């Protein structure tokens, strides 16, 4: 089952496409890292997937085929936005009861128990909590809905390292205990490397890379050798990104699992997820890895706001 499946998906604001010709199939059972520079379309893609906005072109389905935004989709997805939307003047207890009243399924016992374990007082106003506590409250409200898919849009942007670690520990526990699939958008690549097993890179509103992390790492290597040889070898190699210094060049090479084409005199080593993501982020025009076929989009007939 695919938890998110987009075909020719596009979203236009005014004269600009925030997302265009986006085709993507994300299987369930993963922690998915959604990566891209500012303006790449990450938040737009997530908003379309959870049904907060509608496409200008194409379509997106979730949880095995439910149209995004449909009742079946809404009941199975929990979303935590970047700004951690909480009613700042309501107490934690009020937030629990409000969320319970607005959702068909809400595990109040789980939420109350978890907040107690985190030492978050129920009588405290949400706006008076620390940034880490507010993030944990928003996550608790989301998980208490017992979703099949948890979507997190930059939830750790304002958290300190300890709060980020605690937040992600909760996310991973939910996946292990309840089988929740997770899609996480973040700029903190070091955190993503620790938890993600599926990677999606967006570039200029389209999918550039998508796949399981182990498979992606297996078909890339980092090779370093004399700078004077770099240009000659680069012509015959599938180079994603090159980093030149005075005497040495470092090439991130897409090998598709075979390193026989790499010059034998060069040093070759495996790459990390952070190195892979940074290389593609630096080279937005690098050819995308094989993936779902793309669909040509028609020009929109009206402006979506």
Q: What pLDDT is attached to residue 110?
A: 93
Beta bridge partners of 206: 203
Res. 163 pLDDT band, cuts 50 70 90: confident
253 and 263 Cβ atoms separated by less than 8 Å:
no
Query: How is the chain split into domains, by residue range?
Result: 2-212, 215-282
Res. 294 pLDDT band, cuts 50 70 90: very low
- The CB density around residue 109, as the number of other CB atoms within 10 Å, is 9
Res. 82 pLDDT band, cuts 50 70 90: confident
Q: What pLDDT is attached to residue 304?
A: 38
For β-strands 66-67 and 206-212, DSSP reports them as: unpaired
Q: What pLDDT is attached to residue 300?
A: 35
pTM to 2 decimal places: 0.85
Percent share of the chain, pLDDT over 70: 89
- Give the C-alpha separation, 170 to 62, whole Å: 23
Q: Which residue has the higher pLDDT, 234 or 302?
A: 234
- Give the C-alpha separation, 262 to 283, whole Å: 21
Q: What pLDDT is attached to residue 287?
A: 61
Q: Which of 164-173, 235-244, 274-283 has the lowest mean pLDDT?
A: 235-244
Examine the pLDDT at 301 and tell me if it is beyond 50: no
Percent share of the chain, pLDDT over 90: 49
Q: Which of 179-183, 217-221, 240-244, 272-276 has the lowest mean pLDDT?
A: 240-244
E strand segments, the chain: 2-13, 16-27, 31-35, 57-62, 66-67, 77-80, 149-153, 181-185, 198-203, 206-212, 220-226, 239-244, 248-254, 267-269
Give the dihedral of Cα atoms 109, 96, 118, 133; nearest 10 deg.
Answer: 160
Q: Which of 34-43, 110-119, 254-263, 291-300 has the lowest mean pLDDT?
A: 291-300
CA gyration radius, the chain: 21
Mean pLDDT of 147-160: 86
* CATH 3.40.50.300 matches 2-212: yes
Q: What pLDDT is attached to residue 116?
A: 94
């Amino acid at each position: 089952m695919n938890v998110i499946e987009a075909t020719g998906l596009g979203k236009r604001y005014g004269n600009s496409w925030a997302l265009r010709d986006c085709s993507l199939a994300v299987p369930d059972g993963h922690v998915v890292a959604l990566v891209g520079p500012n303006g790449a379309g990450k938040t737009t893609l997530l908003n379309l997937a959870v049904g907060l906005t509608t496409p200008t072109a194409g379509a997106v389905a979730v949880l095995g085929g439910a149209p995004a935004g449909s009742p079946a989709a809404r009941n199975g997805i929990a979303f935590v936005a970047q700004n951690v939307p909480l009613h700042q003047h309501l107490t934690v207890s009020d937030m629990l009861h409000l969320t319970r009243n607005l959702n068909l399924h809400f595990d109040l016992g789980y939420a109350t128990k978890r907040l107690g374990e985190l030492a978050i007082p129920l009588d405290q106003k949400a706006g008076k909590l620390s940034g880490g506590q507010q993030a944990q409250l928003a996550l608790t409200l989301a998980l208490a809905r017992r979703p099949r898919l948890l979507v997190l849009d930059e939830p750790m942007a304002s958290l300190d390292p300890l709060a980020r670690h605690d937040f992600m520990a909760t996310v991973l526990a939910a996946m292990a205990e309840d089988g929740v699939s997770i899609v996480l958008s973040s700029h903190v690549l070091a955190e993503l490397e620790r938890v993600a097993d599926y990677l999606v890179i967006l570039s200029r509103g389209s999918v550039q890379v998508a796949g399981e992390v182990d498979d992606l790492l297996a078909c890339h290597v980092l090779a370093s050798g004399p700078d004077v040889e770099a240009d000659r070898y680069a012509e015959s190699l599938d180079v994603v990104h090159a980093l030149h210094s005075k005497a040495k060049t470092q090439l991130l090479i897409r090998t598709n699992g075979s390193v026989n084409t790499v010059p034998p005199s060069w040093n070759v080593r495996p790459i990390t997820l952070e190195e892979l993501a940074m290389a593609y982020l630096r080279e937005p025009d690098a050819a995308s890895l094989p993936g779902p076929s793309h669909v040509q989009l028609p020009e929109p007939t009206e402006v979506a706001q």
